[in-house]
Amino acid sequence: MKRKLIATGALLALSLAVVLTRSPLNNARAQNASAPGSAAQSDGGDNVPFRLNGKTWRDKQAFIDSGGRCSTKHPDAIQAKEIQDALTRFKANRSLKGGEASAAASSTVTIPVYFHVINKGAGISNGDVPTTMLQRQIDVLNRSYGGATGGASTGFRFILAGVTRTTNAVWYNMGYGSIEERDAKAALRTGGANALNFYTANLGGNLLGWATFPWSYHSKPELDGVVILYSSLPGGSAVPYNEGDTGTHEIGHWLGLYHTFQNGCSTGNDYIDDTPAERSPAFGCPVNRDTCTTSKYPGLDPTENFMDYTDDPCMWAFTAGQSVRMRDMYVQYRAQ
C-alpha cells in the first residue's frame, strides 16, 4: 500500500478503513479509480494541457513523448547482452566461492548519499532546497527501498552523508551530457563506487532527471550519480512528480535496473522475470493497463513499479526480481 497516497486528501482519508483491508495492488487501483480527475490522467493522449516547471505541453502524453520523464541513456541490445553475460559470469564465479559471498549478498546495504544542491541564488525558488527536503528525500528512499510503500524490501537503506551548496547560474540549467554537467560533477563529486552523489538543479531540456548505470563507474567514475530536478523532491512544486520518486526511479538505474518497458513485448524485456512485459511507458495513473497480451505475456503492465513512468502517487513498488538484480549489481560494481 502506498501510504503517502492516503495522506493527500480528506476524501481518501475517509476511505482509509476500507483501503487498509485491501491488497496493495487493488488498493492503489481502487483509489485511482475513485480519485477526482482520474479520467484526465488515464492512459493515452487526452488533450488536457500539462504544465511542468514553467512549460506547457499539449497533454501528458506529449510530455512523455518529449523524453523529459527520464533521460538516462539505456544500453542498446548488444551492450545489454554483454552486461547480462558479465553478470551471469560474475554470479557463477561468486557461487563457486561459496558462503562468504552469499553473506555479503543478503545483509543490509546502507548507501551514503551526498547531496549537491546547485542553485542560482538563495531560496527554494532559486533551487536552494532546504536540508529538511533532502532529509525527506532520504526518508522516501528508505520507505520505497524498504518495502514500506507496498513493494519488495530491497535491503538497501540510505543515509544523508553530506550536503554541498553551490550558486552557479550556468550549472543550474545543466542538460544531459552537457559540459555544465561534467564541470559540476568534476568539482563536486565525492566518495567511491558505493557513494551516491545526488545532484539537484533546474535542468535544461525540461528534464526530471537522469542517472548513470553501475557498469559505467569503472570507465567514468567522475560522472557517477543521479541528477534530479530540484522541484521533484518531496514537497516540491513539480506536481505530479513531487513525492520524491524521481529520486527513487533514478537510483533504480544507478543500481542497475532498466525501465519496465525496456524492449517492449519480448521475453527478455527488462531482464527481470517478475515484471510483466510492457509495450510502452505508462503515465498518469492507468488502471488495468495491458499492452502485451496473448498467453506469452501474462499479467497486467507493472504500472505501480518505480521503473515505469506513472505519477508519483501511483508508483509504489519494486519487485523481488528487481531487488535481486540491484543487489547483484551492487556486489558486482559498487561494493567496497
For residue 71, state whether it binds Zn ion (rule: CB under 5 A). no
81, 166 Cβ separation under 8 angstroms? no
Count of H-run helices and E-run strands, the chain: 12, 7
The one-letter amino acid at 89:
R
- The neighbouring-strand residues paired with 109 are 156
Q: How far is the CB of 260 from Zn ion (least distance, A)?
A: 10
Q: How far is the CB of 335 from Zn ion (least distance, A)?
A: 23
Of residues 167, 166, 163, the one with CA closest to residue 196? 163
145, 174 Cβ separation under 8 angstroms? no
Q: Spell out the residues 6+ positions from residue 70 whose beta carbon is closer than 8 angstroms to its own.
A: 207, 208, 209, 210, 246, 249, 250, 253, 259, 309
For residue 181, state whether it binds Ca ion (rule: CB under 5 A). no
Q: How far is the CB of 272 from Ca ion (least distance, A)?
A: 4
Q: How far is the CB of 291 from Ca ion (least distance, A)?
A: 7
Q: How many residues bind Ca ion (CB under 5 A)?
A: 8
For residue 188, state whether it binds Ca ion (rule: CB under 5 A). no
The one segment of 58-66, 72-80, 115-123, 321-329 that binds Zn ion by CB under 5 A:
72-80
Which residue's CB is nearer to Zn ion, number 116 or number 259? 259
For residue 70, state whether it binds Zn ion (rule: CB under 5 A). yes
Report strand pairing: 109-119 vs 156-167: parallel
- Active site residue: 243, 250, 278, 304, which one? 250
- The neighbouring-strand residues paired with 55 are 52
From the list Zn ion, Ca ion, none, partner contacted by residue 290 (C-beta under 5 to 8 A by kind): Ca ion
Which residue's CB is nearer to Ca ion, number 242 or number 269? 269
Which residue's CB is nearer to Ca ion, number 292 or number 326? 292
Task: Find the binding residues for Zn ion in span 317-336 (CB under 5 A).
Answer: none
For residue 227, state whether it binds Zn ion (rule: CB under 5 A). no
Q: How far is the CB of 253 from Zn ion (least distance, A)?
A: 6
Quick check: helix, strand or coil at residue 115? strand
User: CA 213, CA 250: separation in Å to the nearest integer?
Assistant: 9
Q: What are the phi and psi torsion angles at 56 (to 5°)?
A: -120, 130
User: CA 186, CA 289: separation in Å to the nearest integer?
Assistant: 42
207, 176 Cβ separation under 8 angstroms? yes
Is 304 considered catalytic here? no
From the list Zn ion, Ca ion, none, partner contacted by residue 72 (C-beta under 5 to 8 A by kind): Zn ion
Task: Find the binding residues for Ca ion in span 280-319 (CB under 5 A).
Answer: 290, 292, 297
Q: How far is the CB of 69 from Zn ion (least distance, A)?
A: 7
For residue 119, state whether it binds Ca ion (rule: CB under 5 A). no
- The beta strands (E) that lie in 129-195 are given as 156-167
- The neighbouring-strand residues paired with 226 are 198, 211
Radius of gyration of the chain from Cα atoms?
19
- Residue span 243-272 as binding mask against Ca ion, x where in contact by CB under 5 A, dash where not: --------------------------xx-x
For residue 72, state whether it binds Zn ion (rule: CB under 5 A). yes
From the list Zn ion, Ca ion, none, partner contacted by residue 243 (C-beta under 5 to 8 A by kind): none
Kindly list the residues in this chain that would bind Zn ion in the complex (CB under 5 A).
Answer: 70, 72
Kindly list the residues in this chain that would bind Ca ion in the complex (CB under 5 A).
Answer: 269-270, 272, 275-276, 290, 292, 297
* Residues tagged active-site: 250
